Structure 1
């Protein structure tokens, strides 16, 4: 495109940037969806605490380097929010990922991704309750539909029960919801990158201490295969740091509301990746994912809302 074209059509460059941001946001959701299959691969060789600690040690180093290059050391934000960063890191990073790695021992990648895919809706409901507001009927109805989709995915209507890992992953989604709410309510004068970097560091240290207390992570890491190491590095650098970078680009260009809808690609990505690894989903799982996504979109007002008259 020439300079003359841009002058004649000033919106062309804006559309191009928005299109690029849309692609990057979608890639972030796909990367997050790939984490569940990578977790399954890692847990074939590594115990959960060492696996979670390994992922976030590398992720914390990567995002701290990114913070240093993009915004500086971020020490002022750390001094202002040290306690908040510590609590949020323990709950939202260590707690969330401990629940994920422990739960994935008995849960499936698709089910785990679908449960986590409802976390934006869970966050909105919890925030309404914490703020003393009764959630809107649309949100409650959408949550009910999403839970029906989750139940379809795990086969609850055919007599199966939720696996213990499913319940752990749901607890992890609650921890992530509390993390999101806490970042809004407790953190002051810190950029999203500073908040993510310092909470990720707090979570990584917590996971590492726990791994040394319960397991032998150094011996385990030395015995791990290149496949396990590759999966850990993928989750750390692609499924954590790069996914966050792409997601933030989407938020800064397209806004949080438009970008958050793409989070529904997470369970879809997990389902497709599981199929690529030879585990074809059942028809009820596909229907369950579709029903759950429909519930989230309904609750968020993305569908079924009448346009306002101008």
Structure 2
């Protein structure tokens, strides 16, 4: 990746890391399934001004279902039943080793032994976090978050297969997928009027104003800008080169959760999180064979300065 694209990948990680605070604000007022549908429904009016991307419908719908609907449905439910915001930003990054493994399995992308070691290291860190969570009867939120990470990885592959000429158009057009199934789930699970009642009272309470700010951030900055840039990079490079940049997300997530929400993760989870980040970083390495140095009788070329 060139320096400009690396900078864009870092920007996406920062936007997505801070996005977990916005999600916490939104879930403080809206039910999770309703909020998952609402964050995409507010983008639908933009589609009147954006042409449909010239990609097969199966990849557009697959990206919308996996990245848009399933990922956020799992994530929002997990956060709503007790998944700490900072820890959620970490566990979601299981999408990176999932993406590398699925890219090798389904897209036949080459995976190196070093990447395999990285994936196994990241999985080990996740297992330790899961074990520690199980000691406090809080394992279920983590497992649900892992399901969201797996859905994100499937969405990454759909975006890569779609390979749109204008990735922002694809990012916006997946908004047609999540609203209906999420609103239907909300009506069935959360109650027919729960989400709409929360929407009707959004201006009547402090939590409503925070939720509006969270909705604006997650829809505009995290989705349009963040996901648009991410889709661009996924279409430009192999999935195994792009996905590991998401390892920066938990660093931003933990930091913002500490500063804004005063969350203090357990030392065991921090240590295991460092193992996860190290594993994802190792899985991103693409080692090349070093050039053989010139022999003792061979002239060494001198570069002009």
TM-score higher than 0.5 here?
yes
* Superposed counterparts of 1:294-305, under 5 Å: 294-301=278-285, 305=287
CA RMSD of aligned residues (A): 3.4
Give the structure 2 partner of residue 85 of structure 1. Answer: 60
Give the structure 2 partner of residue 272 of structure 1. Answer: 255
Give the structure 2 partner of residue 201 of structure 1. Answer: 176
* Superposed counterparts of 1:1-310, under 5 Å: 18=3, 22-61=6-45, 64=47, 68=49, 73-75=50-52, 77=54, 81-105=56-80, 106-131=82-107, 136-153=112-129, 156=132, 159-160=135-136, 163-185=139-161, 187=162, 191-214=166-189, 215=191, 216=193, 217-224=195-202, 225-247=208-230, 260-276=243-259, 277-301=261-285, 305=287, 307-309=289-291
Q: 1:211 to 1:290 in 2, by over 3 A?
A: same
Gaps of 5+ in 2: 203-207, 293-305
The 8 Å contact of residues 247 and 277 in structure 2, kept in 1 or not, is answered as yes
In structure 1, distance between residues paired with 2:235 and 2:62: 27
CA displacement at 1:247 relative to structure 2? 4.3
The 8 Å contact of residues 171 and 223 in structure 2, kept in 1 or not, is answered as no
In structure 2, distance between residues paired with 1:58 and 1:156: 38
Q: Deviations over 1:242-294 (max 9, x none)?
A: 22345467779999876554321101011001110212333333322221111
Q: Secondary structure at the match of 1:104?
A: helix
CA displacement at 1:212 relative to structure 2? 4.2
The 8 Å contact of residues 125 and 139 in structure 1, kept in 2 or not, is answered as no
The 8 Å contact of residues 36 and 113 in structure 1, kept in 2 or not, is answered as yes
Q: Secondary structure at the match of 1:32?
A: helix
Gaps of 5+ in 1: 1-14
TM-score for both structures, normalised by structure 2 = 0.77
Q: Deviations over 1:190-223 (max 9, x none)?
A: 5422322222322234323433454322222112
Q: How many residues align?
A: 281
Q: 1:177 to 1:253 in 2, by over 3 A?
A: closer
